[in-house]
Amino acid sequence: MSTVVLVHGAAMDGSVWTYQATALADAGFTPIAVDLPGHGGSEGEPSASAKGYAGWLLAYLAFLGEPVHLVGHSMGALVVLEAAAARPDLVRSVTMIGVSDRMPVNPDLLAAVAEGDVSFFATMGSWMHAREPIGTPAWTVADTVRILQSAAPGVAAADLTACNDYPGAATVASQVSRPILLILGEQDLMTKPSAAQPIADAAPDATTVLIEGAGHLIPVECPDAVNEAILTFLEKADDGLV
């Protein structure tokens, strides 16, 4: 089976893919949850642009030496989209989770993290979760805040700048020849589902799945629904059905 490279969002790390990595491995895929430069256990400096991170990702994909499925959440979705547009020969498909055409950041949040105010991460963490979740997710707001607060100095500011300054995903999606899956959270306050429609409209081959009861951090809020959507899509992509 194919390799699947998973790319986390702003100020997070590869641990957010715990549920997806397990499901992918159980289904026979080879999952690789990367830590972007400066995040988690990865050395290097964070980038203030999605294209900057995409350059790092492409170097890693070239090292792997085989076309892979790319899965990205939030900022990571922009990164995998840029990588697929630049080097389609290294990519089988693209899954974008919790994303929108433009991703402006709340000015107060942007100013707070630029000043190194980590106390604001509690508010950011709450924004990332559904107000009325379905069921009782094992991953809590406290888990999210813990990762945000453990990020190295400057990481959150760089990542949120990368999101805020991104000119638009729809234009890039129109250049991607590989199939695209959009997974959106019905209660997402940070990247509202309606704001992702331009991406779906622009992409030559796009499928959209809306997850009820999910906020922005969909992979850990509703892992079963996300896993089902990803596995269905990847299996079709490998069979040439999407």
Residue 151, pLDDT score: 92
What's the rounded mean pLDDT across residues 147-163? 95
- Pair type for strands 206-211 and 91-97: unpaired
Residue 103, pLDDT score: 97
Overall residue count recorded for the chain in this entry: 242
Question: Is 1's pLDDT higher than 80?
Answer: no
Distance CA 135, CA 96 (A): 24
Residue pointed to by tokens 């400066």: 38
Question: Is 135's pLDDT higher than 90?
Answer: no
Q: For a pLDDT cut of 70, what percent of the chain falls above it?
A: 99
Q: Which of 130-139, 149-158, 210-219 has the lowest mean pLDDT?
A: 130-139
For the chain, give the secondary structure using H, E and C: CCEEEEECCCCCCHHHHHHHHHHHHHCCCEEEEECCCCCCCCCCCCCCCHHHHHHHHHHHHHHHCCCEEEEEECHHHHHHHHHHHHCHHHEEEEEEECCCCCCCCCHHHHHHHHCCCHHHHHHHHHHCCCCCCCCCCCCCHHHHHHHHHHCCCCHHHHHHHHHHCCCCHHHHHCCCCCCEEEEEECCCCCCCHHHHHHHHHHCCCEEEEEECCCCCCHHHHCHHHHHHHHHHHHHHHHCCCC
- pLDDT range class, residue 136, cuts 50, 70, 90: confident
Residue 240, pLDDT score: 78
- Per-residue pLDDT of 177-188, as tens digits, reads 999 999 999 999
Tell if the pTM clears 0.75, that is, is over it. Answer: yes
- Pair type for strands 3-7 and 68-73: parallel
Q: Contact, 42 vs 34, CB < 8 A?
A: yes
- pLDDT range class, residue 108, cuts 50, 70, 90: confident
Residue 146, pLDDT score: 94
- Per-residue pLDDT of 190-203, as tens digits, reads 999 999 999 999 99
- pLDDT range class, residue 119, cuts 50, 70, 90: confident
Environment class of 241 (CB within 10 Å of its CB; exposed 0-12, middle 13-18, buried 19+) = exposed
Residue 209, pLDDT score: 98
Environment class of 44 (CB within 10 Å of its CB; exposed 0-12, middle 13-18, buried 19+) = exposed
